[in-house]
Structure 1
Amino acid sequence: MAGTDWTCSHATMHAWEFLDYEPSLPVSEKSNPLTRDIDRASANNIVRMLQACDTQIFQEDSEDTYQRLSSERVVETIMEVAKRVELILKDPQDSLVVLSGCGTSGRLAFLIVTGFNKALRELNQTSIYSYIIAGGDRALLSSQEAPEDDPKQGMLTLKKVCEGKKRVLFIGISCGLSAPFVAGQLDFCMQHPEVYTPVLVGFNPTHQARDDPMPGCTFTFRSVVQRMQELSKSQKAFLINPAVGPEAISGSSRMKGGSSTKILLELVLSAAHAATFTNMPVTYKGILQHMEAYKQTLDITYAQTAEIAALLEAAGQSLRCGRRVCYLGWGSVAILGLIDASECNPTFGADFEDVRGFISGGYREMNNNEGPLSSLGSDFRVTHKDFLHLVLPSLNDQDTVLLLYTHSDNIREVAKLAHRAREKTSNIHAVYHQVDGAAAEQQDDIDRLCSSSLKITWASSPASGSLLHMWELSTKLLLNAVSTGAHILKGKIYQNDMIDVQVTNSKLYRRATRLLQDAFLLFLCSHCEEVMVSFIADSWQKKKKKSCQATAAHAGRQAGSRHKNTLGETLTTSEGEIMSQHRALETLSIYKLPTPELNQSQSVTHTHLTAVSRFSHQSH
């Protein structure tokens, strides 16, 4: 695998679509057949696998099982929601469009809202957009996943944001149709139809919406969806939920789920703006043309596979050495750097210092609801000055610095910061977006300072859509590849599962329990939960000031295969310590839980004990 070019077959590309493929799991939680061996892949092949997964976003209907992004019903719903936004743009008095989500969904809601409000200000128009993120603005930069489980808080936050408004279009984002925070908001909207029109954006079929009870509620997410389906018949509610395929890393909705969220919401809002300010009506053909522009963005970005792989390799080497990766950015592409960095801690169990983002202009440039958050601590100091003061003095050649900018940014400022970073490390890389034919002043100076420069060139006027939106999506894809691939190289992924993730809310708890049960196939679910709860309790005692980590649950997943009834290779602690299968069984005995009996085909072999994550990669 590591030494050969990876290819995928048509059958593998579509395998997840069949009803008998991991039937107990929703699409957003399934494993992707394309990436089953991503833990053993070379940097170049990791990028190829991620490209194949992202391509699934735009796959056309091939089976009757799932509706896709370009399905007729999805496109028509996008059009109807765009027309609702258009009405508010033309008559904004006492009206509001609210985008709300948790984690990555909330961060992208922030990015999109601030971008479109900025566009309105440039046209001397009233800002009509507002965002909500579970946990407040601190969740823009750090993991605050527990608030996702509070439907009442979601409702109260929405009520406060919309106080005094007479017409609200509410767009709730939940990739897995599972977040109680968003469910509470959607329920509130349906209780007040005279003001609110609810829209749900997600990427599972409605019958896969989460059906677990929520604290203090008589409804579940699925029952909310069912009520919305009924209201959608009279266009009093809307659902946009195409299937885009399983994530490259199982359940990591920051990747395809995040990209698809960005695409869908920008399709809606861009169509509404074009209809309002350029007299271009919202049409079916126009939506499809705009989708094609996003599809081309994937092609343009992944045409740089070798260059992305080199960045991934550099970042991975830094993490393996216990060093750091720093994103230094300008404008909205810098915000994508902040978002990507914020996701590494909950996804990979990374230390906050492992991957950090910094933005020129800091909170003034971000324009977030709560303003500067620097008083919350060094983790929230995000300006370039903060980088120079807090990080630069300790940099060395084992650290990776990545510059993120476009030709329209202040290139002189980019060069100046590159010079400062070069005083401490030669491991500097540039990623910049340039319109075809435009020459960025001082770019040659930056190229000389950097180990590599990845230039992505764009047509001066895309066929459809905003060039800035394409730059942003391209940057997101690239950074997701770099941070995910770097952690794969560090050994944080087994097969295509996260094995060092923080169990900080009910969604992650369910996932961890399932993975542990999957690893030890003969266990009852209650036994799996008991193991995990014990680990959570122990971790809480040891790290009272940190989020509880129950990576043993995910390590249990690491110890099993989806396709073999063998016990597995390892458990991994939150610090990345490797423990053998014998240690896993020993742990079970400590908690007085029954251990599965091994038959001949399940015997522990030397291969089983050593073919672990990066260990198996290094053996190639």
Structure 2
Amino acid sequence: MDFIKTTEQDSLYNNLEQQSAMELLQNINQEDQKVALAVQKALPQIEALVNIIASKLKQGGRLFYMGAGTSGRLGILDASECPPTFGVHHDLVIGLIAGGDTAIRKAVENAEDNTLQGWKDLQAYHIQNNDVVIGIAASGTTPYVIAALEKCKQHQIATGCITMNAQSPLHQTADYPVVVTVGPEFITGSSRMKAGTAQKMVLNMISTSTMILLGKVKGNKMVDMQLSNEKLIDRGTKMLVKEAQLPYNQAKKLLLQHGSVRNVLTFLNYETK
């Protein structure tokens, strides 16, 4: 390899086992504070990726996240939050992990080294030209992810990536790469830490910004969120109380009747400020 894996470099801290709990916490926190600044430097790359995703989804496409281990789990987490938060179909944002659903909870041996399975996993969803596939890998070298993106490019499917290593194979493969250089981990090589935090931040930005561009937010409110529990029903009711100046009980009745804040506001012919 002709690039340096910053995620594998020695920790800036040593003799960790000799540190007190407070020293450990302070040092971890000090490293974590570097993550947001590293993400900030990647904003132009994230913008380019968000714009292509929004464009493709407006054309009927879908968004796929692919990763192994922590990276795969974070993609699945972000994908799973889109339907309840924004009221979109479960098949709009899809998270795939090397080793399948079993790997969400337990590591599946050698799954990330399989260069054929990633494309098979995408084919199971009838991947097509309007879709976008984002490979997530802190190292930038995960075979499961890279091989799948290479296949996507052969089929003119837009690809992006989230990696922590510049000039890695994944960086060089993706059409719209996002590289967040967070530096060495607190525990050498433990990329579930700063790298994982950076991935989570970027995924939050991608899905949230995309959904706003798709019109799934009005003002600053989640007007299409699913009413799947009492907390969300109460939140939706209070939105209506504030936006439409309705009594709480009337707002709740209308919300349950029409199924979403947006539907109630449409019924009332009311625009959020």
TM-score when normalising by structure 2: 0.80
2:44 corresponds, among 281, 301, 306, to 306
Tell me what 2:235 maps to.
Answer: 511
In the TM superposition, residue 490 of structure 1 has moved relative to its aligned partner by 0.4
Change over 3 Å in CA distance of 1:386–1:339 after alignment to 2: farther
In the TM superposition, residue 409 of structure 1 has moved relative to its aligned partner by 4.4
Counterpart AA for 2:28: H
In the TM superposition, residue 500 of structure 1 has moved relative to its aligned partner by 0.6
In the TM superposition, residue 533 of structure 1 has moved relative to its aligned partner by 2.7
Tell me what 1:388 maps to.
Answer: 122
Change over 3 Å in CA distance of 1:524–1:390 after alignment to 2: same
- For the pair 1:433 / 2:164, whether they are aligned, the reply is yes
Change over 3 Å in CA distance of 1:584–1:368 after alignment to 2: farther
1:527 corresponds, among 229, 244, 250, to 250
Tell me what 1:584 maps to.
Answer: 268
Matches within 5 A, 1:100-115: none
- For the pair 1:494 / 2:218, whether they are aligned, the reply is yes
Alignment root-mean-square deviation, CA: 3.0
Secondary structure of 1:429's counterpart equals strand
Change over 3 Å in CA distance of 1:409–1:465 after alignment to 2: closer
Rounded to whole Å, the distance in 2 between the matches of 1:467 and 1:394 is 30
Change over 3 Å in CA distance of 1:464–1:291 after alignment to 2: farther
Which deviations, in whole Å up to 9, do the C-alpha atoms of 1:531-561 show, x marking residues without a partner? 12322xxxxxxxxxxxxxx11x3555xx5xx
TM-score when normalising by structure 1: 0.37
Tell me what 1:339 maps to.
Answer: 77
Secondary structure of 2:95's counterpart equals strand
In the TM superposition, residue 309 of structure 1 has moved relative to its aligned partner by 1.1
Contact 1:516–1:555 (CA<8 Å) still a contact in 2?
no
Gaps spanning 5+ residues in structure 1: where? 1-273, 372-382, 536-549, 560-570, 572-582, 586-607, 614-620
Secondary structure of 1:358's counterpart equals strand
- For the pair 1:480 / 2:214, whether they are aligned, the reply is no
Counterpart AA for 1:280: Q
Task: Name the count of aligned residue pairs.
Answer: 251
In the TM superposition, residue 461 of structure 1 has moved relative to its aligned partner by 5.0
- For the pair 1:453 / 2:177, whether they are aligned, the reply is yes
Which aligned segments of 4 or more residues in structure 1 are displaced greater than 4 angstroms?
Answer: 461-467
Secondary structure of 1:491's counterpart equals coil
Change over 3 Å in CA distance of 1:494–1:313 after alignment to 2: same
Counterpart AA for 2:124: L
In the TM superposition, residue 289 of structure 1 has moved relative to its aligned partner by 2.7
Change over 3 Å in CA distance of 1:419–1:409 after alignment to 2: closer
Rounded to whole Å, the distance in 1 between the matches of 2:206 and 2:248 is 36
Which deviations, in whole Å up to 9, do the C-alpha atoms of 1:436-493 show, x marking residues without a partner? 8xx74xx18x62x432222222333559995431111100110111011111000001
Rounded to whole Å, the distance in 2 between the matches of 1:311 and 1:460 is 26
Contact 1:403–1:429 (CA<8 Å) still a contact in 2?
yes
Rounded to whole Å, the distance in 1 between the matches of 2:188 and 2:149 is 34
In the TM superposition, residue 332 of structure 1 has moved relative to its aligned partner by 0.6
1:282 corresponds, among 16, 21, 26, to 21
Tell me what 2:101 maps to.
Answer: 363
Counterpart AA for 2:147: K
Higher relative contact order (CA 8 A, sep 6+): 2
Rounded to whole Å, the distance in 2 between the matches of 1:533 and 1:432 is 43
